[in-house]
Amino acid sequence: MSIHSDIWRLPGPASFVRDVAAAADGRHVAAILPRKLASDQDYGDSLAAALVDALPNGSRLYPWPTDGPLVQALGVQVAFDDPPVTVRRLITHPDVAGRKFVCLASDLDEAHRTELVGFVGRLESESRTVPAAERGAFVVVTDRGHLPTYAGQERSEVALASVWYWNRISRWDVAGLLNSHGADGGVDGVLREVRLETVIEVAKWDLDLALRLAAEWDGSTAHLADLLAAGARDEGPLTARRGRLDSRPPEALLDAWDRMMIDGWHGALAASAALDVEDLDRRMWSAQARVLLPWIELRRSALVREVERHLGPERWRRAIDDYCGSSSGVEGSDPLVEIGALKRIVSGRIGGSSPALRDTTAALHRARNDLAHLNSLPQARLQNLVSTCEWL
């Protein structure tokens, strides 16, 4: 199964397929993709297959340019022996009524594409007076350039719904796609978790970028910046970044959305990472903090028990009183001894007599402090931290 087919099985993209299928129950549908995706035949083919599967009695149409104008070419596809030549006859033809048809704008030749706006408009107007049960429904997968505009600048009408591929992707979609395609960079354990979380935090809704980073990124900040900078040169500047998160992109951001430079992400607008290379450190820190802070806390708790075991109950109790204060409320091996206090105890009472305790405590303390001050860990430090704590 191809990566593109897998995408439409993810919860976010699958919601687009479901919404289109639901809207096609009684109306024609314009399924609107960003121009960059609408021109990608692999995406279009996989989406068409997903839609045909989701639509009751669904079929895909492939109009041939040699079969005449668009209406007639579509008519040949549904009724070869007696093709309808008008929109009204097309939607009410006995071989069409009660069925759903998917047509990709990217399948059309240039002449047919120039007819598409008018065709979609006539589909809507001719269908108003025909009961839904007596006609077929057409789903046209296209970019916004082939969508007619109605009174009040609306993009939907009585017999035509517009469903936009906008604000669909979540971090769980990206994680699912990466996990299903083994994009772990050859590492495992917490290093794998940090790598995957970093790719998700950097790429956000851009699934193609996530797959590319997972496949090509060597783990270093410099290489990640280089990969993103190459994308920024391809896409050009983003002139606007503000707008309300709705069922379709804000008017001022339509061009940016067409170029896949901006989309919705967990309740907010998010620009492509290729346009925010200067924000890379914050994104890397966010990813590391999400994974490493709980990981550090678990190792700190285990380390407390190891230090108590090394010192013995009495020396441990005195160390708590000396380095944490007698009113600290710490009892026995209570894991609430924070890493700073633990580092003082190990330095003052153990030192070099246990290199493993000394080095592990220092590594956890330094990593926690770096993350607490919004600093990400370089790859070498991250690998050293995991290696140092491996014995715990």
Q: Which CATH number fits domain 3-164: 2.60.40, 3.30.70, 3.40.50, 2.170.140?
A: 3.40.50
What is the distance between the alpha carbons of residues 203 and 209, in angstroms, rounded to a whole number?
6
Element (H, E) at 323: helix 313-324
> The dihedral of CA 319, 321, 324, 329: what is its sign?
positive
Angle between helices 11-23 and 41-54 (to 10 degrees): 60
Whole-angstrom distance between the N-terminal and C-terminal Cα of the chain?
Answer: 41
What's the burial of 328, exposed, middle or buried (CB within 10 Å: 0-12/13-18/19+)? Answer: middle
For residue 332, what pLDDT is reported? Answer: 47
Beta-strand runs (E) in the chain? 28-32, 58-60, 100-104, 137-142, 160-164, 262-265, 268-271
Where the chain has pLDDT below 70, the residues are 1-2, 150-156, 182-186, 231-244, 325-335
Is 142 in contact with 33 (CB distance < 8 Å)? yes
Q: Please tell me the pTM assigned to this model.
A: 0.86
Percent of the chain with pLDDT over 70: 90
pLDDT at 241: 56
Structure confidence by residue, pLDDT tens digits, 42-65: 999 999 999 999 999 999 999 999
Order the strands of the 100-104 sheet from edge to edge: 58-60, 100-104, 137-142, 28-32, 160-164
Predicted local distance difference test score (pLDDT) of residue 79: 85
pLDDT for res 185: 64
Q: In this structure, which amino acid lies at residue 110?
A: E
**Predicted local confidence at residue 327, as pLDDT:** 43
pLDDT computed for residue 228 by the predictor: 87
Domain ranges of the chain: 3-164, 171-275, 281-388
Longest Cα separation, the chain: 97
Output the pLDDT for position 233.
53
- What does the pLDDT read at residue 245? 77
